[in-house]
Every structure is written in C-alpha cells, then in structure tokens.
Amino acid sequence: MHSPRELRRRIRSITSTAQITRAMQMVAASKMRKAQQTTLKTRPFAQLLYRIQRYATTHARDFAHPLQEVRTVRKRAVILIGTDKGLCGSLNTNLFRAAAQFDPGTTVFIAVGKRAAQFVARTRRQLAAEFTYGDSPRFEEARAVANFARDLFLKGEVDEVKLVTTLFINTLSQKVTVVEFLPIGEIKALTLRGVESEAALTSDTTDVLFEPGPEEVLSFLLGHYLGIFIYRALLEAKASEQSARMVGMKNATDSATGLTDDLTLEYNKLRQGNITKELLEIAGGQLGNE
C-alpha cells in the first residue's frame, strides 16, 4: 500500500502532466482548424486540375513528353511525407509501415519532414534528399520537392516515383495512401474514392485544338501539375498531423484526469483510515486510564 506522501507526490506529478497535455491539445486544436479549412478549400481546385491534366494528355495525339515515359522499373524513388514532431498517435507508425514495404535495395527516399528522415536513417535506407515544411505549407516548399523528384526521373536515376502520404478524412480518421507520381501518365487522383472520371475521359474521342500548340500547353501544364500535386499532399499531411495530435493529447489529458481521480480517492480513503485508527487509539487509551 502506498503512503500518503507517495500518493500526494503522484497526484501532483500527474496533475502537472495533465496541464501540459491540455495546453498542447488546445494549441493543436487551433492549428487543426486552420489546416483542415485550407485542405478542404484546396481539394476542388486540385481535382479540377487533375481532370484538365488527364483530359489534355488523353486528347493530345502524337505528343510525347519525357515525364510520360514508362520504363522498366529497376530503381524507384519514394517521396515520404511525415511529420516534424511526434505525439500524434499512430499516424507516423502507420505511414512508416507502408513505406517499409518497398525494397530497400532498389529504392531511394525523398524524406519530407524530420520524422520521415529519422525513419530512413534508422532503417538504414538510401536517402536521396531531405525537405521540411511548416505548419502552413507553402507552394514553394512543395515545388522544391516536386522539382527534385522530376530531375531524378528525367536524368534516368530512377524509373518511377511514388508518393507515400496521409490523407485527411476527418478529425478522428486519417488514411495512409501510396500513389504514383512519375511517370505522369500514371498519376491517379489524390482522392479517397479513386479516379471517378478516368473511363469518361478515355472514352471521349472529341478532337481538341491546342493553342499555341500541344507541346507548349502540355509542357507548362505537366510541370505545374507536379507542384500542385505535392502541395495538396503537404496540406493533407498537415491536417492529418494536427488532427491526430489533438486527439492524442485529448486522450492523454482524459487518462491523466481519470488517474488523478482514482489516486485522490485512494488517498482520501487512506487518510480517513489513518484518522479513524488514531481516534480508536485515543479512545482506547482513555478507557485504559479509567
């Protein structure tokens, strides 16, 4: 049985921890709302840009771009978007479990986020580059990642590029997903329900006129699309991270509060028992004197 002093010490310690987790919960909740709003506002634009890209590449006859070249995969790159900080539940664990499925002998990693870089170093995998991004991802950060992956592909150092990231579903749920990034003809929409318009796009045989020409239009469109694709992935990952951290800190606060209540009850019972024992001893002493 614990002594009253030990119980008081544990209660103070757990109460202090609960104050810290509650403060972190409030901070994460504030950042979460902003990240979620930004992500949800960006989705319609990204999906429309995807439709434009697929429609254009489908109807551009006799047009071939180096980013569309499909090769036999001997070497691949994986863009792994993790978090900069921990305390976000099983988010990173699930993400790294998906990344670990790739053959380390034929895969190089482009780590985005400190935790992603730590995973690559810890598992002794090949690291091609490391990037960071803030609580409010910027397009310049996404473009740097996209340009690096594009250069690896165009130089022939890798034959395909995949993206491993987390999609935001709601505050309580996030989904780890693996999608194609390059070659660009294989890119699928970064959505939870898959590619809804693919059949309609490929079955439409309407002639399309490109001005000034298909090469000029598609060269600009494909390069710009890569940056938007990564930017969308960064927003989804940040919304997932803040949501997971808020939920994790709330669960930690609730657990600490429950444990404090249990210890306080045990302390009060022990203290009441000691008081009762002392009263009985005093009463017994008085009866003995009589």
Domain that holds residue 186: 28-198+208-245
Q: For the whole model, what pTM was predicted?
A: 0.81
Within a domain: 95: yes
Kindly report, residue by residue over 81-140, the tens digit of the pLDDT: 999 888 888 899 999 999 999 999 999 999 999 999 999 999 999 999 999 998 899 999
Within a domain: 289: no
Question: How many domains are contained in the chain?
Answer: 1
Within a domain: 12: no
Kindly report, residue by residue over 219-258, the tens digit of the pLDDT: 777 778 889 899 999 999 999 999 999 999 999 899 999 9
User: Is residue 194 pLDDT above 60, yes or no?
Assistant: no
Those residues with Cβ within 8 angstroms of residue 169's Cβ, 6 or more apart along the chain or in another chain: 175, 192
Strand 173-182 vs strand 160-170: parallel, antiparallel, or unpaired? Answer: antiparallel
Annotated catalytic residue, options 14, 88, 108, 235? 88
Within a domain: 33: yes
Within a domain: 252: no
Could you give phi then psi for residue 150, rounded to 5 degrees? Answer: -60, -45
User: Is residue 211 pLDDT above 50, yes or no?
Assistant: yes
| CATH code of 223's domain | 3.40.1380.10
Within a domain: 5: no
Q: Is 94 a catalytic residue?
A: no
Within a domain: 171: yes
